[in-house]
Structure 1
Amino acid sequence: MINQIYRLVSPGRFEITYRDLSLNTDKVIVRPKFLSVCAADQRYYQGRREASVLKKKLPMALIHEGVGEIVFDPSNRFKIGQTVVMVPNTPVENDEVIDENYLPSSKFRSSGYDGFTQDYVFMESDRLVPIFEELDNHTSAFLELVSVAMHAVRRFKEKTHVRKEKIGIWGDGNLGYITALILKKEYPETELVVFGKNEHKLDYFTFIDEKILINDIPTGYAIDHAFECVGGRGSESAVDQIIDCIKPMGSISLLGVSELPIEINTRLVLEKGLTLFGSSRSGTIDFQETVDFLKENKDVIDYLSHLVSNVIEVSAIKHIDRAFEEDLVSSWGKTVMEWKI
């Protein structure tokens, strides 16, 4: 069969590539249905990566967040027409210590390998997780981002001490919002505080205990643990504030991606005996835990739906450009593409 792949060939420019693929395969064939634009995709689209990185990775199909419909399944694990969330991480080895998303040999879609902007995607059966009916299509499109937060919370449980009276989350964007949602369910007795710089974004956090603007943190304010969900240039000041606020022996979960190195006050880290750990991406286990979590906490789905800011129907290559441009000017939430091309 001839598969059409919609690749970014240079910043702001998509082209169609044709690839002949055999149906005599052990891979499951999935037709993408709803895709979500990620900040990492935007960095490629806008050319906000180093020239050497762009030269190495482009041309490449973007998007690593999405759900699709089963078209062909030689494994007989899925029903034809069943909706599944697609796992972008593709490991090529197993390790008894290192999670699949941290193995250097793993391949990750839309980061050096073609993402989901294709007519059909050929995937291993263990890279697909079925979703349930109550989970609407627009929200399910960005389950990958939810699984990243779920992975970070799982690691937080493994690495932190038992005292969790107050947890702080730095970042009023999508990742901070999702992380706060999960933490509120996992630790209902814990006081949850979100620190942000945009009051209109903090207004969306209706389910937390306290909201504080980063320029208005009271003197002597203290927390037990923290999540850094800022990324970019703001990572440095966020980590600096966290180190000042956090109590001795606390843990800091780092999730924000920064293109440039940041300075860290190691003197205070040592004085307080702090633990800093990073979390990035996710694996199939995190996707399954995410789906199970939402099935058990269906009210969270309603909160997640507030993140859907744009829905763009894509029936031509020019509509992909429109989705990225709309996402670029959006001040809140996620841009979802209804993939009908």
Structure 2
Amino acid sequence: MLTSVYRLVRPRQFELVFNDITLDKSHVIVHPVRLSICNADQRYYQGLRAENILRKKLPMALIHEAVGRVAFDPTGQFEEGTLVVMIPNTPTEKDDIIAENYLRSSQFRASGFDGFMQEYVSMEPDRLVALPEDVNLSVAAFTEIVSVSYHTIQRFLRFSHSRRDVIGVWGDGNLGYITSLLLKAILPETKVCVFGVNEYKLHDFSFADDVYLISDIPEDFHMDHAFECVGGAASSKAINQIIDYINPEGTISIMGVSEDFAPINTRMILEKGLRLFGSSRSGREDFLGLIKLYNQNPDLINQLEKIVGAEIHVRSIQDITRAFEIDIHKIMGKTIMIWEN
């Protein structure tokens, strides 16, 4: 079975190739219907990764946030036409201690092998999770990034002490929005405070207990724990500001991705006895837990609809390029490709 694959061959240049998918008894064939552009996709598209990494990983189909419809399932686990969210992490082994998303042997779509910019995708059934038919497809498209926040919060609940009266979230972008939203759903009695640099963006955080500009934090503010959702060049400033305001023995979750090293105030980490941990990606259990949380809290989907940005119908390479260029200039929100290839 031939399928069209749209690969990035060099920064800002896509090419169409045809791959042969082998139909067997253990893989499900899925047709993607909605794709969501992530910052990681943009780093490849714009050539913002190191030259040696680009040489190693390209050409490659981008996108690791997507939903699709089952086209063929010889395993009998899904009916034809079932809407599914596709899990990009692909483990090759199981470990009793290390989660699938941290195993160095695991593969991840759009980071080393082809992502979901394909006409059809062959996947193992445990890499698919069924969705309800009435789900908002544009929200479902970025289930993966929401599952990363869910995964991080679950780890936080294991690592942190039980005093969780006040939690701070640094970052007024998509990741900060999603993480603070899930925190309020999972810990409704906790006061969640969001810190950012854009007053206009902070207005969208209507569910948060308080929002602050990082240049105007009250001197007497203190918190028990914090989540860093900034990344990039500003991650160092965010982490150090968190260290200043966090109470002793608090836990700091680092989620923002940076290409450069981030110098941090280790002296105060020691003096306050702080615990820092990093989280990346997610696994099947996180997707299942998130879908369960959606069912328990239907308003979550309504809140996530607020960060759906441009929705672009894609039928050609020109449409793909246009979607990525529009995404570069967005102020807030997730750019969704309505995949019609």
Q: Same fold (TM over 0.5)?
A: yes
Please state if 1:281 is matched with 2:285.
Answer: no
Letter in 2 for 1:322: R
Asked whether the equivalents of residues 24 and 74 of structure 2 are also in contact (C-alpha less than 8 Å), the reply is: no
Q: Return the alpha-carbon distance in structure 1 between the equivalents of residues 326 and 83 of structure 2.
A: 26
Q: Return the alpha-carbon distance in structure 2 between the equivalents of residues 24 and 239 of structure 1.
A: 49
Give the C-alpha shift of residue 135 in structure 1.
2.0
1:106-161 CA-to-partner distances (Å, cap 9, x unmatched) read 00000011000001000000000011134211110000010000000000100010
Describe the SS at the equivalent of 1:47.
Answer: coil
1:41-82 CA-to-partner distances (Å, cap 9, x unmatched) read 000000001100000000000000000000111110111000
Describe the SS at the equivalent of 1:306.
Answer: helix
Give the C-alpha shift of residue 189 in structure 1.
1.1
Per the alignment, residue 166 of structure 1 pairs with 166
Per the alignment, residue 59 of structure 1 pairs with 59
Per the alignment, residue 251 of structure 1 pairs with 251
Per the alignment, residue 336 of structure 1 pairs with 336
Q: Return the alpha-carbon distance in structure 1 between the equivalents of residues 78 and 223 of structure 2.
A: 46
Which consecutive unaligned segments of at least 5 residues does structure 2 have? none
Give the C-alpha shift of residue 295 in structure 1.
1.0
Give the C-alpha shift of residue 224 in structure 1.
0.3
Per the alignment, residue 86 of structure 2 pairs with 86
Asked whether the equivalents of residues 132 and 295 of structure 1 are also in contact (C-alpha less than 8 Å), the reply is: no
Per the alignment, residue 5 of structure 2 pairs with 5
Equivalent pairs counted in the alignment come to 341
Give the C-alpha shift of residue 25 in structure 1.
4.4
Runs of 4+ in 1 over 6 A off after TM superposition: none
Give the C-alpha shift of residue 18 in structure 1.
1.0
Aligned-residue CA RMSD (Å): 0.7
1:9-20 residue pairs with structure 2 within 5 A? 9-20=9-20
Per the alignment, residue 74 of structure 1 pairs with 74
Q: Return the alpha-carbon distance in structure 1 between the equivalents of residues 188 and 220 of structure 2.
A: 25
Per the alignment, residue 127 of structure 1 pairs with 127
Q: Return the alpha-carbon distance in structure 2 between the equivalents of residues 318 and 227 of structure 1.
A: 38
Per the alignment, residue 323 of structure 2 pairs with 323
Q: Return the alpha-carbon distance in structure 2 between the equivalents of residues 119 and 141 of structure 1.
A: 16
Give the C-alpha shift of residue 26 in structure 1.
1.7
Which consecutive unaligned segments of at least 5 residues does structure 1 have? none
What is the TM-score normalised by the length of structure 2?
0.99
Letter in 1 for 2:268: L
Per the alignment, residue 154 of structure 1 pairs with 154
Give the C-alpha shift of residue 340 in structure 1.
0.2
Per the alignment, residue 290 of structure 1 pairs with 290
Identity in percent: 54
Q: Return the alpha-carbon distance in structure 2 between the equivalents of residues 164 and 18 of structure 1.
A: 52
Describe the SS at the equivalent of 1:230.
Answer: coil
What is the TM-score normalised by the length of structure 1?
0.99
Q: Return the alpha-carbon distance in structure 1 between the equivalents of residues 161 and 7 of structure 2.
A: 46
Q: Return the alpha-carbon distance in structure 2 between the equivalents of residues 132 and 253 of structure 1.
A: 32
Asked whether the equivalents of residues 226 and 253 of structure 1 are also in contact (C-alpha less than 8 Å), the reply is: yes
Give the C-alpha shift of residue 317 in structure 1.
1.3
Per the alignment, residue 301 of structure 1 pairs with 301
Q: Return the alpha-carbon distance in structure 2 between the equivalents of residues 24 and 287 of structure 1.
A: 26
Per the alignment, residue 242 of structure 1 pairs with 242
Per the alignment, residue 187 of structure 1 pairs with 187
Describe the SS at the equivalent of 2:92.
Answer: coil
